[in-house]
Structure 1
Amino acid sequence: MTTKYSKLVDVTRCDGCRACMVMCKNWNDLPVEPEEFKGSYQSHDKCGANTWNVLTFTEHETENGGFEWLFRHSACMHCTDAACVKVCPEDAMHYTEFGTVNTNYDKCVGCGYCVQNCPFGIVQLTTLVDEKGKEYEQAQKCTMCVDRLQEGMKPACVEVCHMDALVYGDKADMVALAEERLAKVKDRYPNANIYNPIGVDGTQTFYLLADKPSVYGLPENPKVPTSATVWKDYAQPLGKAMLGVTTMAVIGGFISNKLFNKQGEEGGNHDE
């Protein structure tokens, strides 16, 4: 049985320094992504193809009429039941030996189904240029620094966090640590909770939040879209059996587009 590892994000310890963002850019050699100044402390609206984690700043009014900043390290959640893995027609989105979700760039064809179905709105497409000057698209997101994990190192963002707000290790240990920390902050944050949504069978990046998820821009009960389950468990296997892999790639695109266009009617949530 594969041991699952997780990153615990304890927002009650975060001081908003953004070191995790800088370290992520440096380690993964991600290009600069300038954004227009919007009069906010937050540098980017959300994660993007070239910005794999974003520190969010939320102005929050306390119950006694006071004011405080709420910070959140936002990145790929690495769902245990990942919609992006279910809908990928090329098996480019896959689970790693660490229980995280990564992209095989050699297989990715830039179809965008992962973007459309991510319940957290994290996966994005980037435009690249091949050696012949032809443009193509690929799905991009946080990899949990799988290259570092394979060498026995921690993810870059965890390594640089000076507040111990980001912690990485065996998932069972991280859950126990989250529960221990939750008990300690309940007096200060009565609404504090552990965010490890069961609708996606838990996530490998999970949170200790000081307030309810929606306050931090997170969906209260994210789920794998019905269209993704239909595609992975029924349409794709049946089509491959009847038509062969090559023909299915064409027909499957048509089927999945029809399914995904109905996603909004099914209540899919694409907010972070």
Structure 2
Amino acid sequence: MTEYVKYVDVTKCDGCRACMVACKNWNDLPAENTEFLGSVQSHKKVTADTWNVLQYIEHENGKGNLEYLFRHSSCFHCHDAACEKVCPEDAISHTKYGSVVIDHDKCIGCGYCVQNCPFEVISLKEYKDKNGSTYRKSQKCTLCTDRLDEGLQPACVTTCHTGTMEFGDKTAMINKAEQRVREIKSRFPNAQVYNPSGVGGTNTIYVLAEKPSVYGLPESPKVPTSAVAWKDYAQPIGKLMLGATTMAVVGAFVTNRLFNKAGKGETQDGGGSHE
């Protein structure tokens, strides 16, 4: 089965934000009232109603010159996805394309995926049912999986007029990224391919002009140890030994202990705020 990758070369981006508009239009996402950031950037980061954001970064390069760096920011679709591991309802899964998607019929809005995403690209959206009660669902970029099913490319890719983004076979896109880095090294000495191994690689890979931290990205993101312990060890053994009802009670206790950021004190390598 062919695995696909969205390739993003930030050195070609001119900051037009067409990708943001295309994403909003295709996914029927509403407009948002946002605070004034004092710059051309419209959002600090992605939200439940804005699944990709164009970042504008003022950066002083090695020669002491000020330059603007741009980055199309959206879900990375990690191969080893922390959000998928911590979901207690198995509402998050990989598709045959490599995209990570959320089944809203299964999502209970617990927020564990939001807390454990190393890139902070998942958000909770509030809804009201017919009785006026509030409930929540996780939201993020889907890599336009519905378009892929129809033989189309992601909306953001098709609207990009500078060739910043492409979409295709994973091996071919990684090779293209590595070749591009070799081409631009003389201009951008810190240029690199961002496809972090700590999350098993990603299905959105970047050619970055500078170190990841310059773009607000973790240098060495990884799946939290607690998530690995829960999904790969505690959950399967618990289900085998305790049965479904008891496991649900134990699971609620364990996940609240493991995945509550305020209590667990576990940090990502090179993590922190991404915006």
TM-score relative to the length of structure 1: 0.96
How do 1:87-98 residues align onto structure 2 when only pairs under 5 Å count?
A: 87-98=86-97
List per-residue Cα deviations over 1:138-196 (Å, max 9, x = no partner).
Answer: 01000000000000100000010000101101101101111221121111111100000
How do 1:1-272 residues align onto structure 2 when only pairs under 5 Å count?
A: 2-261=1-260, 265-268=265-268, 269=271, 271-272=273-274
Assess if the C-alpha contact under 8 Å between 1:52 and 1:141 holds in 2. Answer: yes
Assess if the C-alpha contact under 8 Å between 1:7 and 1:166 holds in 2. Answer: yes
List per-residue Cα deviations over 1:181-232 (Å, max 9, x = no partner).
Answer: 1121111111100000000010000100001100010000000000100110
Letter in 2 for 1:27: W
Counterpart Cα distance in 1 of 2:211 and 2:95: 30
Q: Secondary structure at the match of 2:231?
A: helix
Q: Secondary structure at the match of 1:70?
A: strand
Identity %: 61
Counterpart Cα distance in 1 of 2:143 and 2:26: 11
Counterpart Cα distance in 1 of 2:272 and 2:26: 28
Gaps of 5+ in 2: none
Deviation at residue 41 of structure 1 after TM alignment: 1.2
Deviation at residue 240 of structure 1 after TM alignment: 1.5
TM-score relative to the length of structure 2: 0.95
Q: Secondary structure at the match of 2:247?
A: helix
Counterpart Cα distance in 2 of 1:246 and 1:159: 47
Letter in 2 for 1:265: G
Counterpart Cα distance in 2 of 1:31 and 1:133: 20
Deviation at residue 74 of structure 1 after TM alignment: 0.4
Counterpart Cα distance in 2 of 1:264 and 1:12: 38
Counterpart Cα distance in 1 of 2:107 and 2:99: 17
| Root-mean-square deviation (Å) | 1.3
Counterpart Cα distance in 2 of 1:232 and 1:40: 42
Assess if the C-alpha contact under 8 Å between 2:102 and 2:138 holds in 1. Answer: yes
List per-residue Cα deviations over 1:94-128 (Å, max 9, x = no partner).
Answer: 00010110001111011111011101111111001
Letter in 1 for 2:225: T
Letter in 1 for 2:96: E
Deviation at residue 236 of structure 1 after TM alignment: 1.1
Q: Secondary structure at the match of 2:158?
A: helix
Gaps of 5+ in 1: none
Letter in 2 for 1:152: G
Deviation at residue 134 of structure 1 after TM alignment: 2.2
List per-residue Cα deviations over 1:12-46 (Å, max 9, x = no partner).
Answer: 00000000001100100011111011211110000
Counterpart Cα distance in 2 of 1:137 and 1:247: 25
Is the alpha carbon distance of 1:165 and 1:130 closer, same or farther for their aligned partners in structure 2, counting shifts above 3 Å? same
Counterpart Cα distance in 2 of 1:148 and 1:114: 24
Counterpart Cα distance in 1 of 2:23 and 2:105: 22
Deviation at residue 270 of structure 1 after TM alignment: 5.1
Structure 1 runs (4+) deviating above 4 angstroms are none
Counterpart Cα distance in 2 of 1:60 and 1:131: 49
Q: Secondary structure at the match of 1:152?
A: coil
Counterpart Cα distance in 1 of 2:194 and 2:33: 31
Deviation at residue 62 of structure 1 after TM alignment: 1.5
